[in-house]
Structure 1
Amino acid sequence: MYVWVTLLFAGLWMACSKNNSRADEPAKPQATLNGGFAKGADVSWLTEMEASNIKFYNNAGTEQDLFTILKGKGTNAIRLRAWVNPADGWNNTADVVNKATRAKAAGMRIMLDMHYSDNWADPGKQTKPSAWKDLSFAELKSALSTYTISVMNALKDKGITPEWVQIGNETNNGMLWDDGKASVNMKNFAELIQAGYMAVKSVSVGSKIIVHLSNGFDNEMYRWMFDGLKANGAKWDVIGISLYPTAANWQVLNVQCLTNMNDMVARYGSQVMVCEVGMPATEVTASKAFLTDIIDKVNSVTAAKGLGVFYWEPQAYNSWKGYGLGAFDVSGKPTAALDAFLRE
């Protein structure tokens, strides 16, 4: 989720903005991206949108497969959420495998986002799957492990190995509440993370495990969480971040996010990645400037430990399911915001 913030002082805006240079000044050259930098998109709504007869078009107005359009915009990685037993079937294991197969065929790298819920898991809700709600904590860890292995094996059976796997989604206060609520029992949450870590590695030792929080500018929260996980023996490879600024505050939040990312590298030796970004689709100029800058900042993280940036559901247009932070216009074509990914 995101919060609308209005900057109170024009001076703060001027100090942080990279867009206030004179028109006759030469553009600042962009740094070359580090090898393997992920320019990604979460497109988990795709199959549901297609079933609703939603079409996608390139900038010339030609209908194309979404993966073709995104690849043409420089995207090289796809993120897919997994739900345990969703009522309508979308984002269940079969649906994830379907989209992952298509993504692989398009030459995309894959991130698997395990929500460990039958529906949305985020900072405000981390509801256990219905089938797990009455399990003891030991049984809950076992169920998490078995389910994780089953999804990984379903992908493996299709020749797909996720490069990254999130153990939980925006777990600011843990997951699988109340057993895994971090503010109540950090040890339990750490054991759940560790169970997921070990389950993924048992199928694919090379897949990188992500622990993912929102509000990438909030260093205090990140230190609290990862200090707690480390103290309780949990392992991870990558610290994942969500960042949803506005046209008014993105410069400030990007600076704070970079400070936080570099602190995560220094404090834990972790790699970092921005797993979700978004801005109103109508704010095309600001969105492109934001994306360009956050890509630069992730690329500049200490010791090249910034792995990439993923746009969340850019193909959602015409307020699909009420969501307005995509990067396609009302005619189903990508906006110039995604041109920020057109770089090497």
Structure 2
Amino acid sequence: MRKSPKNIFKLFICLSLLLSISFNWGQHKPAEAAATFAKGADVGWLSEMESYNWAFYNDSGVKQDVLQTLKDHGMNSIRLRVWVNPSINFSNKADVVKQAVRAQKLGFRIMIDFHYSDTWADPANQTKPSAWTSKSFTDLKTAVYDHTYDVLNTLKSNGVTPEWVQVGNETNNGMLWADGKASVSMSNFAALINSGYNAVKAVSSTSKVIVHLSNGYDNALFRWMFDGLKTNGAKYDVIGMSLYPTTSNWSTLNAQTLTNMNDMVARYGKEVIISEVGMDVSAPATAKAFLTDIISKTKSVTGGKGLGVFYWEPECYGTWYSYTKGAFDSSGKPTIALDAFLN
């Protein structure tokens, strides 16, 4: 049937209104910030656990790939540590590439954590790799660059570009002691940070570089470190924190950590991330309350600059290295602590 000019005009008006409503909804619908918030786990021990046939189960007691179990609990990111020449065949370049590819295939975003050591680096231990012990400081900076570039470029060749890269682990007093000890030479530590930063950006300009300290509640420590790094021209994108409270002080420490996070944003203009959290596995309900609260507080950081929260080695259970801050029970099933990541 032939349409009259009047009907055509009405149809045009209706279509215009529909298009306008659709456009305005697209422009003004609520921001989906939660989709970009990193809810993660460090699973650096996973390869070793699996090599000894440790099994993992879902909430129903069905055997399952633990990464899938973590994903089912709302996690979207995986953190992996890198050692230079470890004495065991885990957390080296080959192992990290294998696990990063595996995690990415399941849809996880990736954080890589360079320890710049052959073993654990933390506030009390920042030991140079054995192959680097006799190097001059100039050569040490080159070694940091080359190692960082090599690992990240190998990951890239295997289809993985990490979203975040830590240059150092819990570097409360610098790294690669004694050359990079911050209390002795903040300028040396800053130079080592810059070597790592430059290598990261040479492989991927979009990867965010993290400088990571423990005790996220300790504002004096963070101001001392990041004032010093600023004075000495250190380059980085994100301030990382660890937080391991007890069942009795977690509420106080969470509040102090939020204050510190907001201070870091205001003072240095940087984003912040909780790179590690944990609580005793024997108190899963309290751990869930702690995690729910620190996730909420990190999301509330000024300007949306709280990037995420990562649980450290939640898959640990039983007698594994006598570590007691996992989030799986003695039967290899997740505790209710992990439900905090479901939102």
| Fold match (TM-score > 0.5) | yes
- Secondary structure of 2:192 counterpart: helix
- Give 4+ residue runs of structure 1 displaced > 2 Å after superposition: 32-35
Q: CA separation in 2, counterparts of 1:319 and 1:230?
A: 43
Quick check: 1:34–1:304 contact (8 Å CA) kept in 2? no
User: What residue identity is the alignment partner of 2:67?
Assistant: F
- CA deviations on 1:13-53 (whole Å, 9 max, x unpaired) are xxxxxxxxxxxxxxxxxxx8544000000000001000011
Partner of 1:308: 308
CA deviations on 1:239-274 (whole Å, 9 max, x unpaired) are 000000011000000000000000000000000000
Q: How many residues align?
A: 313
Structure 2: how far apart are the matches of 1:284 and 1:46?
Answer: 21
Counterpart of 2:302, as a letter, is T
1:321 aligns to what SS in structure 2? helix
3-state secondary structure, aligned to 1:120: coil
- 1:68 maps to 68
**How has the CA–CA distance of structure 1 residues 33 and 285 changed in structure 2, closer, same or farther, with 3 Å as cutoff?**
farther
2:260 counterpart residue number: 260
1: CA distance between counterparts of 2:310 and 2:124?
Answer: 22
Deviations 1:160-179, CA, capped at 9 Å, x for gaps: 00000000000000000000
Aligned ranges for residues 193-212 of structure 1 at < 5 Å?
Answer: 193-212=193-212
1:283 is aligned to 283
Post-superposition shift, 1:66?
Answer: 1.0
* 3-state DSSP of counterpart to 2:62: coil
Partner of 2:103: 103
- Residue 218 of structure 1 aligns with an amino acid whose one-letter code is D
1:8-27 to 2 correspondence within 5 Å?
none
Q: State the match for 1:52 in structure 2.
A: 52
Q: Which amino acid aligns with 2:238?
A: V
Amino acid at match of 2:181: K
AA aligned opposite 2:299: N
Deviations 1:257-299 (A, max 9, x none): 0000000000000000000000011101110000000000000
User: What residue identity is the alignment partner of 1:151?
Assistant: V
What amino acid does structure 2 have at the position aligned with 1:248?
S
What SS class does the counterpart of residue 308 from structure 2 fall into?
strand
Percent identical across equivalent pairs? 64
1:38 maps to 2:38 = yes
TM-score normalised to the size of structure 1? 0.90
Corresponding position of 1:4: none
**1:86 alignment partner in structure 2:** 86
What letter corresponds to residue 322 of structure 2 in structure 1?
G
Within 2, Cα distance between the matches of 1:60 and 1:105?
24
Q: Which amino acid aligns with 2:310?
A: F
| Contact residue 182 and residue 188 of structure 1 kept, 8 A | yes
Q: Which residue of 2 aligns with 1:176?
A: 176
Residues 117-136 of structure 1 aligned to structure 2 (within 5 Å): 117-136=117-136
The aligned residue for residue 326 of structure 1 is 326
| SS of the residue 2:113 aligns to | strand
- Aligned residue in 1 for 2:270: 270
Distance 1:226 1:59 in 2: 42
The equivalent residue for 1:342 is 342
Contact in 2 for aligned 1:43/1:315 (Cα 8 Å): yes
Question: Which residue in the other structure is 1:8 paired with?
Answer: none
Partner residue in 2 for 1:25: none
Question: In the alignment, which residue of structure 1 is the partner of 2:142?
Answer: 142
Alignment-derived partner of residue 239 in structure 1: 239
Q: Runs of 5+ in structure 2 lacking a partner?
A: 1-31
Corresponding residue number in structure 2 for 1:230: 230
Q: Please give the alpha-carbon distance, in whole angstroms, between the structure 1 residues aligned to 2:243 and 2:125.
A: 18
- In structure 2, distance between residues paired with 1:319 and 1:180: 35
Is 1:151 the counterpart of 2:151 in the alignment? yes
For residues 87-141 of structure 1, the C-alpha deviation after alignment (integer angstroms, 9 at most, x for no partner) is: 1121000000010011001100000000000000000010000000000000000
Amino acid at match of 1:221: L
Alpha-carbon distance between aligned partners in 2 of 1:55 and 1:285, rounded to the nearest angstrom: 24
**Partner of 1:260: helix, strand, or coil?**
helix
Is the CA contact (8 Å cut-off) linking 1:110 and 1:162 kept in structure 2? yes
SS of the residue corresponding to residue 57 of structure 1 reads coil
The amino acid that maps onto 1:285 is: A
Q: CA deviation at 1:319?
A: 3.1
SS of the aligned residue for 2:310 comes to strand
Cα distance in 1 for partners of 2:125, 2:151 equals: 23
Q: What TM-score do you get using the length of structure 2 for normalisation?
A: 0.90
Bigger helix fraction? 2
